[in-house]
Amino acid sequence: MKRSFLSIVRKELIHIFRDRQSLFMVLTMPLLMLLLYGYAITLDMKAIDIIVADHSASPESRELIRHIEATDFFKVSVYKGGVAHIGEIFQNREAQCVLEIPRDYGETIRAGLPVQLQLSIDASDPNAANFIQNYVSRVASLSFADQTMLFSLEPRIFYNPDMRSAPFFIPGLIALILLLICALLTSIAIVREKETGTMEQLLVSPVKPVQIILGKVLPYTFLGFFDGLMILVVGSLLFHVPIQGSVLLIMAMMLVYVVTGLSLGMLVSTVAKTQSVAMLAAITMTVLPSMLMSGFIFPISSMPRIFQLVSRIIPATYFIEIIRGIVLKGNDLHNLYKPASILLGLDAVLIALSIRAFKIRLE
């Protein structure tokens, strides 16, 4: 019995290393997705075009402009005078915001009185508009730092002091890519066996269905785990994402998550009759829910109630919480036992469903 099982594992490994499509999926596709999504999905903003209309032309207004120019967030154009048609500027995309410094700016500052600056923002992109408003307020407060104020606010930023997007998105990308690759690998491999007719040859051999299932899944478990480690190392080094917690804990939870993806792939393979259908079903079941409803980009608490309920059955929801907790906050198992327990429970349900469905198909 053991020999038959090992023979199936050996056959599957030989098949993987001879099949260019499988090798591409295992070795190249995760890295390509990491690079494309890692660089494309970001909330960091740079070189925002801003027009500063300096009506004051005083040392104080030049000091304010110097503060704005000192950061790479803005690309500053200074107008010595008013801006007549702000609407046209936004229509022609000459700038995303216009800051007007009033004529009495210098005198008001020297008198120690409150001063009003007018900031016009193109809010067709509301997130960008919010960033611009906050950033200009911050720059203006820095330029008034030597003035007496009624109170001051000193924020303390935890876990991501530079507030970069990469430490937030790269762990989520690992969850997204790993689930997709694992589901694709198993679903396509099993459906290909059905298409070529080799599955019937396995069925007439003296091997039990459970041995067939485990023998086909085991090699992909190692490959999926290898993919996960590769994405973690490359993502951490390339995007400068330090890992605050235990790497061993990440690896352990990654192994659990790989089994989740492989079980999903087996479920897909029981209903798909062609490789193209299997690929489409695997992508639909993994990428869309994981990207939109797992908290990868949008906070789950901001979603409608029905989507919040759906997010609870998406495995990526729990793995993203786990890996972000370990990478960003240095969480240990004591902090993460709830999502880890739920992920293990989902694994048990998916494995039971996939084995049952697979047995029915084999019979």
At 127, which CATH number?
A: 3.40.1710.10
Express each pLDDT in 41-81 by its tens digit.
777 777 888 888 888 888 888 888 888 888 778 888 888 76
Give the Cα separation of 362 and 168 in Å (integer): 43
| Alpha helices, DSSP H, located in 239-332 | 247-271, 275-293, 305-311, 315-329
345 has pLDDT over 90: yes
Least confident of 74-88, 153-167, 279-293: 153-167
213 has pLDDT over 80: no
| Same structural domain, 136 and 257 | no
Whole-number pLDDT of residue 322: 94
* Residue 47 near residue 190 (C-beta atoms within 8 A): no
Express each pLDDT in 73-106 by its tens digit.
888 888 876 677 788 888 888 888 888 888 888 8
The mean per-residue pLDDT over the stretch 229-233 comes to: 89
| Same structural domain, 272 and 216 | yes
| Same structural domain, 215 and 130 | no
| Beta bridge mates, 321 | none
In a domain, 53, yes or no: yes
Of 256 and 207, which is predicted with more confidence?
A: 256
Last residue of a domain, one of 114, 144, 174: 144
In a domain, 67, yes or no: yes
In a domain, 151, yes or no: no
The mean per-residue pLDDT over the stretch 204-212 comes to: 70
| Same structural domain, 125 and 187 | no
Whole-number pLDDT of residue 150: 45
In a domain, 150, yes or no: no
Of 257 and 105, which is predicted with more confidence?
A: 257
Of 306 and 91, which is predicted with more confidence?
A: 306
| Same structural domain, 36 and 52 | no
| Same structural domain, 176 and 282 | yes
| Same structural domain, 30 and 80 | no
- Please state, for a pLDDT cut of 90, what percent of the chain lies above it: 12
Whole-number pLDDT of residue 151: 46
* Residue 102 near residue 117 (C-beta atoms within 8 A): yes
In a domain, 345, yes or no: yes
| Same structural domain, 203 and 303 | yes
In a domain, 25, yes or no: yes
266 has pLDDT over 90: no
Last residue of a domain, one of 115, 144, 173: 144
Of 355 and 331, which is predicted with more confidence?
A: 331
Overall domain count for the chain:
2
| Same structural domain, 135 and 18 | no
In a domain, 54, yes or no: yes
Give the Cα separation of 279 and 265 in Å (integer): 9
| Same structural domain, 80 and 178 | no
249 has pLDDT over 90: yes
Domain range for residue 127? 48-144
Give the Cα separation of 182 and 263 in Å (integer): 9
In a domain, 138, yes or no: yes
Q: Where are the beta strands (DSSP E) in the chain?
A: 48-54, 74-79, 97-101, 118-121
**What pTM was estimated for this model as a whole?**
0.76
| Same structural domain, 298 and 188 | yes
| Same structural domain, 250 and 102 | no
* Residue 286 near residue 180 (C-beta atoms within 8 A): yes
128 has pLDDT over 70: yes
